[in-house]
Amino acid sequence: MRKAFHDELAQLCSQLAEMCALAVSAMQRANQALLDSDLSLAEQVIADHEHIAAYNRRIEESAFRLLVLQQPVAGELRTVVGSMHIAADIDRMGALAVHVADISRLRHPECALPDEVRASFTDMGAQAVRLAQTAQEVLVSRDPDAAARLRDEDDAVDAEHRHLFTLLLDRQWEDGVCSAVDVALLGRYYERFADHAVEIGKRVIFEATGGRPLHKKLA
């Protein structure tokens, strides 16, 4: 019974890492689609979200089954409960990548990004993808120190996000209202995507240490 339990728990953790890999890929492609106004890539991201949503359902069902059949305690209980929270975070990351893809699709064949913010989105995209990759690694290693570093990586996204608003608001923006609205919403999507990766790190720390989970910053 315990052996079966540990196998199921290990499988739950692998599923989370696989699900996170899908979110990495979704953001990578959404960002590329945005930079290149690549309609078919954007549509792929949108269509593929179903795989992420399916993982979310499966993980929630597996976690429930483990709670009912195995009644885990202590660290194992934290892992099972945490897996549901983490799956919800990854699901949101996927949804935010879809939002990025949606804006590229809506503006196609135009590019949603004016030239002056291309560099910002190139950087924010790379940073967001890196955060999701770190989250994925942390879901495998369960290393609380690596998980804690997600917060530092997020600072770079926040800095770029603030810089974006400086461009939008503090100087003469010449690309019109529609473009400003797109850029503001896109910035918000990248920032929230990164926040969810940080949340995953906090959950892993909580599971590893049993410490109270640090609660969300107000983002």
Q: Does 142 bind its own copies (CB under 8 A)?
A: no
CB 78, CB 210: distance < 8 Å? yes
CB-wise, 1 or 218, nearer to its own copies? 218
| Closest to its own copies by CB, 45 or 147 | 45
> Per-residue x/- marks for its own copies, 68-97, CB under 8 A?
x--x-xx--xx--x--xx--x--xx--x--
Crossing angle of helices 176-209 and 115-141, rounded to 10°: 20
154, 192 contact by CB (below 8 A): no
**Residue 117 sits in the site that holds its own copies (CB under 8 A):** no
Least distance from its own copies to the Cβ atom of residue 145, Å: 24
Q: Per rule CB under 8 A, is residue 2 in the interface with its own copies?
A: no
What residues numbered 30-59 form the site for its own copies, per CB under 8 A? 49, 53, 56-57
215 lies in the binding site for its own copies (CB under 8 A): yes
Which range, of 2-10, 29-37, 60-68, 114-122, touches its own copies by CB under 8 A? 60-68
Q: In the complex, what is the shortest distance from the CB of residue 149 to its own copies, in angstroms, rounded to a whole number?
A: 24
Q: Please report whether residue 111 would count as binding its own copies according to CB under 8 A.
A: no
Our finding on whether 213 is near its own copies (CB under 8 A) is: yes
Q: Which amino acid is at 140?
A: V
CA 60 to each of CA 5, 66, 132, 166: distance values in angstroms, whole numbers, following the listed order: 16, 10, 20, 41
Where do we find the tokens 């597996």?
Answer: 62
Question: How many Å apart are CA 183 and CA 117, to the nearest integer?
Answer: 8
Q: Is 159 in the site for its own copies (CB under 8 A)?
A: no
Angstrom distance (rounded) from CA 114 to CA 110? 10
DSSP secondary structure letters along 128-185: HHHHHHHHHHHHHH--HHHHHHHHHHHHHHHHHHHHHHHHHHSS---SHHHHHHHHHH
* Residue ranges in contact with its own copies by CB under 8 A: 49, 53, 56-57, 60-61, 64, 67-68, 71, 73-74, 77-78, 81, 84-85, 88, 91-92, 95, 98-99, 165, 168-169, 173, 177-178, 180-181, 184-185, 188, 212-213, 215-216, 218-219
